[in-house]
Amino acid sequence: MMKHLLKRAGVVQDSPRKIGVYGGKFDPPHVGHLMCAEMTREAFDLDLVLFVTSANPPHKKTGVSDARIRQAMVEAAVAPNCFFQACDIELRREGPSYTLDTIKALKAQYGDAELYLMLSSEYLDPEHPWHITKWKNSHELFALCRLLIFPREGHTVAQSTQWAELITEADIQILSFCPSPPVSSTLIRDRIASGASVWYMVLPEVWNIIRRKRLYGYTVARRCTFCQKYWNRLKALGRAVTLVFSR
């Protein structure tokens, strides 16, 4: 831990740095994104994970929230983790958000850093309309970074590995240690629109933005009263104190 903190402070600089690049709409960012990113950072000893908010995904023409609001949610979500950083590189570039352009720009920015592109296994599925080999100049992209793949719900590690083996020009590793979390941005948007709870699915910092901006059809939900909330906290504190002094 101290080694990482010294690196972040610029006291220790190993070369090259190892940087994870996690791109997406993040509409909204949720605990599944954060869990997978943290587990991957730890497994590969990454110095930094960049959460790159897509400005204009070429495969999503409509139905995406304003990019600056999504960026604000990403910034709120990653702020508690000193190894995470929100990246607006695609928001500052006009036109569709092509991953190759982003990786090239990050290569220029971070010099000889090793880049690890973090993706969902859906883009390895040969039947997917946006299979990774169909991305802009994919052969050039493969030469610039290593691919770390999260198995998506419904995709086994074995299946994802078989798909990866078909792409011989890329350096791909399937992240078998990352469970597919039972939450998705689509699920969160749908639940908010129906008035259902999304507690424990997004961080409180993200929820505050959703609530304040009235995103995804948000309406004021039924809430605990002030007294109920603090009475429950006092009871929990009392039980904790009792446990300490009963030992």
The DSSP-derived string for 48-66 is EEEEEE-SS-TT--SS---
Residue 180's pLDDT is 83
- And the tokens for 10? 């610029």
pTM of the model: 0.83
Report residue 12 CA to chain centroid gap: 27
pLDDT tens track of the chain, all 247 residues? 545 555 555 545 555 799 999 999 999 999 999 999 999 999 999 999 999 999 866 555 556 899 999 999 999 999 999 999 999 999 998 878 899 999 999 999 999 999 999 999 999 999 999 999 999 999 999 999 999 999 988 899 999 999 999 999 999 999 999 988 889 999 999 999 999 999 999 999 999 999 999 999 998 765 655 566 666 777 666 666 666 676 6
User: Distances in Å between the alpha carbon of 2 and those of 5, 11, 186, 245?
Assistant: 5, 11, 38, 34
Report the candidate in 75, 28, 12 with the shortest Cα–Cα distance to residue 201.
Answer: 28
Each domain of the chain, given as residue ranges in start order, spans: 2-219
Only one residue has tokens 């991957």, namely 40
Pick the CATH number of 2-219 from 3.40.50.620, 1.10.1070.20, 3.40.47.10, 3.40.50.150: 3.40.50.620
Q: Which strands sit side by side in the sheet containing 114-120, from one edge to the other?
A: 84-87, 48-53, 18-24, 114-120, 146-150, 172-174
- Read off φ and ψ for residue 53, nearest 5 degrees: -75, 125
Only one residue has tokens 């979390």, namely 181
User: Distances in Å between the alpha carbon of 202 and those of 67, 126, 208?
Assistant: 18, 31, 10
